Amino acid sequence: MFFGSIFIFLFLLPGSQFHLIFTLNLKQIFWVLITSAILLAYVLSWYTGLKSIPVSQATVILLLGSPITTFLNLISGGKVLANEILSGILIIFGVLLVLGTKKILENLKNLKKLVYAN
């Protein structure tokens, strides 16, 4: 997050919009602080979660954010395009495929142990 904010400042410097940062009112600063706190909690929970599961599995689970967002947009009455629904279905299918394949491989590995134990 620190490096990301530096890149944003560097991006804004050559343009004519850098001075707008200093014209934020209290309500805008409040929302910046709230969204920053949410982002910080997200990043901290991500790294805490990586202590418990492999990064590949965490990334697969993270992919579910897109279909969940599309679903929430759908039930709240927002406009949802057909390609968003299709991409959500494909992501869910891919997540199930990856997690299911991992479970199948683990079961086969345990089955080999049982076969050779006898």
Sign for the CA dihedral angle at 63, 66, 69, 70 comes to negative
CA distances from 35 to 2, 18, 38, 45, 62 (A): 15, 20, 5, 15, 19
Residue 69 burial (CB < 10 Å; 0-12/13-18/19+)?
middle
pLDDT of residue 74: 87
pLDDT of residue 115: 64
The residue that leads in pLDDT, 116 or 62, is 62
In the predicted structure, residue 93 carries a pLDDT above the cut 60: yes
Mean pLDDT, range 63-88, rounded to an integer: 88
Mean pLDDT computed over every residue of the chain: 84
pLDDT of residue 114: 64
Mean pLDDT, range 108-112, rounded to an integer: 77
The residue that leads in pLDDT, 114 or 102, is 102
